[in-house]
């Protein structure tokens, strides 16, 4: 399939209009045309090791959940690993695309994927999308009835690749648990401002600053941290299925075997 057709379909599946203003999404590296895509490699983070995997396995395109090019590059040399990524991708005729916060806000995106893993709940975005075409929004507020935080923790530990540490403050036996879901630190900053007046008893996020955790605990909330990329990496399998359907089986879609969280618990 032609690269332009692949990008058009990805833009429909993960609309750039849903991404946060600070983000860098869409087609980030475009080889000279014509460029046919026969194999697409999915990864959470595009590292040099994952790029070599794409080359070794014959991929023509990489979808990196996190944008490998985030801040502006003033030069493209061999000095930094991100510059080397761009150089090598172009040399090897590899396109690079990133959806990032489009998937955070997308209906049936990463937050809904996490929510389903936690069990039946009522789920609404904390800040709804302003687009009439694309439903969704930033963060999710889930409501569980008669489901203590400990049960939620057990379900989280059942998600492959997710590591959990928690600071629990609630001991009042409340018969319901309301959970705020967010997968990135930048998104969480906005979610925390939105949460003013929202009755969430538990924050579930990939990462959170030490002082924000202290504030939450002081307010009687529980905090569950899942490690940033590990709270997203398992979603790639589901996203891959959606992409296969969007591309009508014309492109082989595989998930990286070398992609892993840079922090390892020992």
From the annotation, which residues make up the binding site for a divalent metal cation? 66, 104, 228, 232
Residue 254, strand partner residues:
41
d(CA 201, CA 185): 19
Q: What angle do CA 128, 108, 66 make, to 5 degrees?
A: 85
10: its two tokens: 């990805």
Distance CA 114, CA 158 (A): 11
The annotation places the binding site at 66, 104, 228, 232
Report the C-alpha gap between 197 and 227 in whole angstroms.
26
8 A C-beta contact, residue 20 and residue 101: yes
């Amino acid at each position: 399939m032609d690269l332009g057709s692949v990008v058009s379909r990805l833009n429909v599946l993960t609309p750039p209009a849903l991404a946060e203003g600070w983000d860098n999404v869409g087609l980030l590296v475009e080889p000279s045309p014509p460029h046919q895509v026969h194999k697409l490699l999915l990864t959470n983070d595009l590292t040099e090791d994952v790029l070599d995997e794409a080359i070794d396995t014959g991929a023509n395109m990489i979808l990196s959940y996190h944008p490998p090019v985030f801040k502006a590059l003033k030069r493209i040399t061999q000095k930094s690993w991100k510059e080397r990524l761009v150089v090598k991708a172009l040399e090897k005729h590899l396109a690079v695309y990133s959806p990032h916060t489009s998937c955070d806000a997308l209906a049936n995106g990463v937050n809904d994927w996490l929510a389903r893993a936690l069990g039946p709940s009522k789920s609404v975005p904390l800040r709804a999308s302003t687009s009439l075409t694309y439903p969704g929004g930033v963060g999710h507020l889930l409501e569980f009835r008669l489901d203590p935080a400990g049960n939620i923790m057990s379900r989280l530990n059942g998600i492959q690749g997710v590591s959990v540490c928690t600071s629990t403050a609630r001991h009042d036996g409340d018969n319901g648990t309301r959970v705020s879901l967010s997968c990135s630190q930048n998104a969480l900053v906005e979610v925390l401002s939105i949460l003013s007046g929202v009755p969430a008893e538990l924050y579930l996020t990939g990462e959170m600053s030490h002082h924000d955790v202290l504030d939450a605990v002081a307010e009687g909330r529980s905090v569950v941290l899942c490690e940033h990329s590990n709270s997203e990496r398992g979603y790639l399998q589901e996203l891959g299925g959606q992409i296969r359907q969007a591309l009508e089986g014309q492109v082989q879609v595989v998930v990286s075997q070398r992609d892993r969280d840079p922090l390892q618990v020992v």
